[in-house]
A and B are shown apart, each in its own frame.
Chain A
Amino acid sequence: MSADTPVVQDRPRALTVNPGLADRIFLAWARASGVFVLAVMLGVGGYLAVRATEALSVAGLSFVTTETWNPDGGHGQFGIAAVLIGTLLIGGTAVLVAVPLALGSALYISEYAPRKLRRTLVSLVDLMAAVPSVVYGVWGFMLLQYQLTGVARWVSTYFGWIPLFRVNGADPDDPLTPPLVYTASTLMAGIVVGFMITPIMCSIMREVFDQAPAGEREGAYALGSTRWGMIRSVVLPFGRGGIIGGTMLGLGRALGETITVYLILSMNFEIQPHVLQSGGSAVAPLIALRYGDSTDFSVSALMAAGLTLFLLTLVVNFAAAAVVARSRSGASS
């Protein structure tokens, strides 16, 4: 090399990525499928929204405040006040039933169960999540709601002074009040739906509990904690995100449950806060009940109700995802 040769500056070589034809086709295909799935997903929401506008423009604000459901009656004759509150009541009951059950089972599987039993239990819980809703439905419809009327009667007799537990049309002094008034109620539907969502919640919680750091557990034991003390001070705080997230995912499922609620609940279009009393309402069974009877306008009204349910589940789901992602244990679940 001679001295007068100009110094060539070192430059990074420009990397030209020249994907072959196969790769280009592959990328295009992958993108196309992504776009297609996105379009389908947005299409569901978008279509609901477009079809719903007709009814929403007629009903206006009264859609939120009206209880009754008679879309053909026009403005002020249909609204989601009752069905939405009914849906939330059923969802709430389901979550109240499911949270202790799911939490207890998840703790049992991750903390108490013998190691040999654990895998079987996990399988059983997953299996329970796979049992079709109609199976829970026929069980609740034919058996459980009659088994539980005694409990409902007792609660309404002794706690009837709380508005939530009052049962109109039942005479507590009359032991012959037919079980009719206690069946087909929000409570019965909620309990059966609760059993359905428990396994989903349980498996999320269990996964989170399993990841509680062993060091902290040992530390708690070393400080003289009992097992429950360790769970309270290590496992539960660590898994808080999973507990809340799992609960909300379960709630999302409960809000959209159709067939079980349809079978059990007697539909009533009014705000009916007495959970023990026969009759209630929910969006999903409303659609199943009325989709075929409806004129074009009523279908539009049903779409509006469906849209509300859709947005509700979407919000619950997003919230669940956010809670899980922000929690300490979130990264993995």
Chain B
Amino acid sequence: MTTTTAPPRTTVVTPPAGAAPQRPRRINARRASDHYAFWGSLAGAVATSAVLFQRLTPFNGGIGFVVCSWICFLGLYALLVSRDEGPLTVRDRLASAVVHSLAAVLIGVLFWVVGYVFTKGWSALSYGNFFTEDLADAGPTDPLDHGGALHAMVGTLTQIAISLAITIPLGFSCAVFMSEVPGRFSRLVRTLVEAMTALPSILAGLFIYAVMVLTLGLPRSGLAAGVALSVMMLPILIRASDVVLRLVPASLKEASYALGAGRWRTVWTVTLPSARSGLATAVILGAARGIGETSPVLLCSGYTKNLNLDPTRDPQTSLPLMAFTLIKFPSELQAARAFGAAALLLGLVLLLFVVARTLGGRGPGELSRRQRESRVRQSAADLVRMTNPVVPSARKAPVITRTLTLLTALAVFATSLLFGAADRAEAAGYLRISGAGSTWSYNAVDGWIKNVRQYGMTVDFDPQGSSFGRNQFKNDATDFAVTEIPYGLTDGGQYDAPPPFPSAYLPIVAGGTSFMYNLKINGKRVTDLRLSGEVIAKLFTGGITYWDDPLVKADNPGLELPHVEVHPVVRSDGSGTTAQFTTWLSKRQQPIWDDYCRRTPRGAACGMTSFFPLLNGSTWKALGSSITVASSVANEGNNGAITYVEYSYAKEAKFPVAKVLNKAGYYVGPTGQNVAVALVNARINPDLTQLLDDVYDSPAAASYPLSSYSYMVVHTTETKNFKQDKGAALSAFGYYFLCEGQKKVGDNGYSPLTPQLVTSGFDQLAKIPGSEKKAFDPAACSNPTFGKDGTNPYVASAPQPPECDKKGATSQCGATGTKSTGTQTGTGTSTGGAGNGNAAGTGGATGGTAAAAGGAAGTGTAGGTGGEAAADDPALGGGDGGAAGGGSGQSVSATAIEVAASAGSGLRTSLMVIAGLLLGAVIVLPPVIAGRAARRRDEEL
């Protein structure tokens, strides 16, 4: 490089005098023409796509319109810009437009999701009780001022506390190991941890489920869910903290070593404190991830409607699981609760996120303004201290220690509180029991669970299908199972072995497997479809693909059936409903069913199966529970859908079910009475299981062919997880539902048990270890099937089906395609007995009167219920206004509920306050403590 000796030649340009002062050119300025091009093409695009929509209707719906306008806009914009710019600029403009709109879409989706969930959830959130109650007292049809999400909030907090208690110490020490003890081994750990950050949460759940529940035989619980969450969160937390720790400047550590500090002291007093803000952010973001996970909780803990403060046993639900479970219900109310839970969850995550943002974002060693100011004050104080030295005060423990100690203390405190509360709660009544299984009878079981709360019983029930229940029971992971079919059957070539310990079957309720459909004629819902057995078999085996098939028409001479495709919706899980339906198919429609099965991948006749086989290339919907299939059929848009489901689900969704042709040649609906009539012919095996062949062929005119019983499987000896105290609770629950509980099942779309089965049920209950061993007393049993002299008034009350429902009758009942108004006049046999006033309603509004007349006492209430039941029943002209009068019994139970509620509310309110305080403490305290401790330390140093 040569150096020049010449003086720098700088030319100073002096602006010519008098010229206008120069302004810098604005680089990013938009000219008028740019604006014209932009707005012009936008307007043009909207107009064009409006025209396209009018003429061609390629899409429908808002999204289609937006996409269409967007494409038009890009084209027009390119055209307009190219009129006064070169191709490079055109491309630049287009790219800019595309990038802007993509970013807008992403942010738009965020606001759409958040806004949608909050608007939908608002109806539930606006009730205070949503935050103070659990769902135990709220049935599916109870309005939103009943029940709430307290149990899910408590569950979420407990589980996340457990998982944080595991992940924080372990994750931090592992991260410290990776950054402070370098070497081949720590590199291996780091690689593996990084790879595991993408571990699907379901696998973490499956792993813990298999280890803790299947192998170790522990019950499914909040603890298992917490552990599963921590397996999932651990790699995420380690990775995030490792990144933070690696950012700690080496100079800080070197300085510490140079001052003679050892390794652990350097880590403890330099590395961790300087990475504090980053570590806190890592924890909070990890917690936000863990809080939102559903599948580990689904597998390891399970759903319940009850508040559970004890994470070591019994199911404990969490907010995401609650949202996930309730969203599948066909009822608007449950959906609103699901959205409420989702909104609450979202709020919690938002809160955590905001805390993380305010706390974090600073690099290691970087100070906030307040910290800097305090450092300045500190220096001034130090100067004073050094000039006149005093004895230094005892060194305080470093911040992290203090924070950790406090956190631990908090955790210990919370845990002891929870355990203490749980023990107190249990001391008051029966031990908490949990069951799992059928969705077929879930609506009945759910009602009983709600009612036995007044007696101090807490029963959890996880409705995930009969096969699920049988397996959970077999694994001793649940206290009882509810199932439609017994153990010991062969399904798909697999023998379903009975559990390794003795058990007994206890019939709990009867009901009809009904065919719920969604079919409209000229926009009016069909409510009186009639189907014969063959047609049903063909509908569900692909033999009939359109509703106007001659076979369907033959069953429905009065209906102008539309040319709409049949869309069967079947169950995809192991289901007792499927088992009941396929048992009937294999016994009564065997050729059709066997032929179908051979065409499916199974390749052989399947007989009875819990898993509905589908053809290759099938477009049928296969969904996971009774709730989901009913909800899918009830979806407004799903015209032509039909499914098999217990009658109560159709009632709940206010949807019609098909009347099925019976042996006597009548088309009848699955009302309680009709089911009871058919089940008179059921053959009961010595172990109380059912043989339904004669039910299918019942000669009674009012019999519903697809009637059956649902069973509870109970322990008859003590096992590892089932002891006498649980037996006492289970038997008390059994004594309740065999008598008192049967009173109302008729209204819910089920049918009460016969006296014989109730008697045998009492014998079974006596076998449960720890049973109360009550003697059977017909007078004390308010089951509507108990007559004075051994008759069954419930069966006797069944109305004869009207002549217009007879096969071959010239007209079809109410065949207008509109709501049936109840043309037939029921026989209305009313039996005013001791506490079981029982009225078979006539149709429609008259049901109320009939019930009122039949009821012995408390007529007002009973009449109201009767009328409601009949009105809820658009499917069947008859209307089963089977309102149990039982005035005296009802009023007694009503007071009991009130008393229990007032007694429970004190405990519940205090628990709620504690939960709220804990939530606040967990979120607010750590950063506050950390900040305060940091300031104090700054002042001391």
A168 within 8 A of B: yes
Asked whether A228 lies within 8 Å of B116 as measured between CB atoms, the reply is no
B117 within 8 A of A: yes
B761 within 8 A of A: no
The residue that B207 contacts in the complex, of A44, A127, A131, A278, with Cβ under 8 A, is A44
A23 within 8 A of B: yes
**In the complex, A270 Cα to B599 Cα: how many Å?**
14
Chain A nearest CB, measured from B414 CB (Å): 23
The residue that A135 contacts in the complex, of B192, B298, B342, with Cβ under 8 A, is B342
Interface positions, chain B 608-654, Cβ under 8 Å from A, are 610-611, 613-614, 616-624, 635, 637-641
How many inter-chain residue pairs (CB < 8 Å) link A and B? 384
B interface residues, tally (CB under 8 Å): 138
Provide the residues of chain B in CB contact with A176, threshold 8 Å: 564, 639
**In the complex, A131 Cα to B350 Cα: how many Å?**
8
Chain B nearest CB, measured from A47 CB (Å): 6
The residue that B203 contacts in the complex, of A31, A136, A297, A309, with Cβ under 8 A, is A309
The residue that B188 contacts in the complex, of A38, A195, A262, A289, with Cβ under 8 A, is A38
Asked whether A23 lies within 8 Å of B617 as measured between CB atoms, the reply is no
Which residue of A is nearest B343, CB measured?
A135
Asked whether B88 lies within 8 Å of A226 as measured between CB atoms, the reply is yes
Asked whether A302 lies within 8 Å of B324 as measured between CB atoms, the reply is no
Provide the residues of chain B in CB contact with A85, threshold 8 Å: none
Interface positions, chain B 334-384, Cβ under 8 Å from A, are 335, 338-339, 342, 345-346, 349-350, 352-353, 357
Asked whether B493 lies within 8 Å of A72 as measured between CB atoms, the reply is yes
B907 within 8 A of A: no
Interface positions, chain A 228-277, Cβ under 8 Å from B, are 228-229, 231, 249, 252-253, 255-259, 262-263, 266-270, 272, 277
A77 within 8 A of B: yes
Provide the residues of chain B in CB contact with A184, threshold 8 Å: 621
B59 within 8 A of A: yes
**In the complex, A288 Cα to B335 Cα: how many Å?**
21
Provide the residues of chain A in CB contact with B436, threshold 8 Å: 292
Asked whether B345 lies within 8 Å of A135 as measured between CB atoms, the reply is yes
The residue that B338 contacts in the complex, of A43, A138, A154, with Cβ under 8 A, is A138
Chain B nearest CB, measured from A83 CB (Å): 13
The residue that B231 contacts in the complex, of A40, A137, A198, with Cβ under 8 A, is A40
- With known contacts A73-B493, A226-B88, A253–B173 Cβ distance under 8 A: no
Provide the residues of chain A in CB contact with B192, threshold 8 Å: 38, 41-42
Binary contact track A111-140/B, C-beta < 8 Å → 1, others 0 = 111000000010111111011111111110
Asked whether B492 lies within 8 Å of A124 as measured between CB atoms, the reply is no
Max chain B C-beta neighbours (<10 A), residue from A103, A258, A270: A258
Interface positions, chain A 123-174, Cβ under 8 Å from B, are 123-128, 130-139, 141-143, 146-151, 153-154, 158, 168-169
Which stretch, B98-106, B127-135, B749-757, B913-921, touches the partner chain A? B98-106
**In the complex, A294 Cα to B192 Cα: how many Å?**
31
B904 within 8 A of A: no
- With known contacts A44-B207, A131-B114, A229-B88, A73–B494 Cβ distance under 8 A: yes
Which residue of B is nearest A256, CB measured?
B200
B565 within 8 A of A: yes
Chain A nearest CB, measured from B447 CB (Å): 23
The residue that B292 contacts in the complex, of A40, A133, A229, A252, with Cβ under 8 A, is A133
The residue that B349 contacts in the complex, of A131, A258, A291, A297, with Cβ under 8 A, is A131
B301 within 8 A of A: no
A100 within 8 A of B: yes
**In the complex, A121 Cα to B471 Cα: how many Å?**
49
- With known contacts A290-B573, A302-B206, A263–B324 Cβ distance under 8 A: yes
B496 within 8 A of A: yes
Interface positions, chain A 12-64, Cβ under 8 Å from B, are 19-20, 22-23, 25-27, 29-31, 33-34, 36-38, 40-44, 47-48, 51
Provide the residues of chain A in CB contact with B102, threshold 8 Å: 100-101, 103-105, 108
**In the complex, A292 Cα to B628 Cα: how many Å?**
17
Asked whether B67 lies within 8 Å of A266 as measured between CB atoms, the reply is no
Which residue of A is nearest B338, CB measured?
A138
**In the complex, A206 Cα to B621 Cα: how many Å?**
41
B95 within 8 A of A: yes
Which residue of A is nearest B101, CB measured?
A104
Asked whether B263 lies within 8 Å of A27 as measured between CB atoms, the reply is yes
- With known contacts A27-B263, A131-B113, A134-B324, A121–B209 Cβ distance under 8 A: no
Asked whether B471 lies within 8 Å of A294 as measured between CB atoms, the reply is yes
Provide the residues of chain B in CB contact with A65, threshold 8 Å: none
Provide the residues of chain A in CB contact with B116, threshold 8 Å: 139, 143
The residue that B262 contacts in the complex, of A20, A48, A131, A299, with Cβ under 8 A, is A20
Asked whether A68 lies within 8 Å of B601 as measured between CB atoms, the reply is yes
Max chain B C-beta neighbours (<10 A), residue from A138, A297, A313: A138
Supply 14 A–B pairs (Cβ within 8 Å), ascending by A.
Answer: A23-B262, A127-B350, A131-B346, A134-B345, A176-B564, A202-B106, A228-B95, A259-B298, A266-B622, A270-B616, A288-B202, A291-B299, A293-B464, A303-B206
Contact surface of A with B, Cβ cutoff 8 Å: 19-20, 22-23, 25-27, 29-31, 33-34, 36-38, 40-44, 47-48, 51, 67-68, 70, 72-74, 77, 100-105, 107-109, 111-113, 121, 123-128, 130-139, 141-143, 146-151, 153-154, 158, 168-169, 176-181, 184, 195, 198-199, 202, 226-229, 231, 249, 252-253, 255-259, 262-263, 266-270, 272, 277-279, 284, 287-297, 299, 302-303, 306, 309-310, 313-314, 316-318, 321
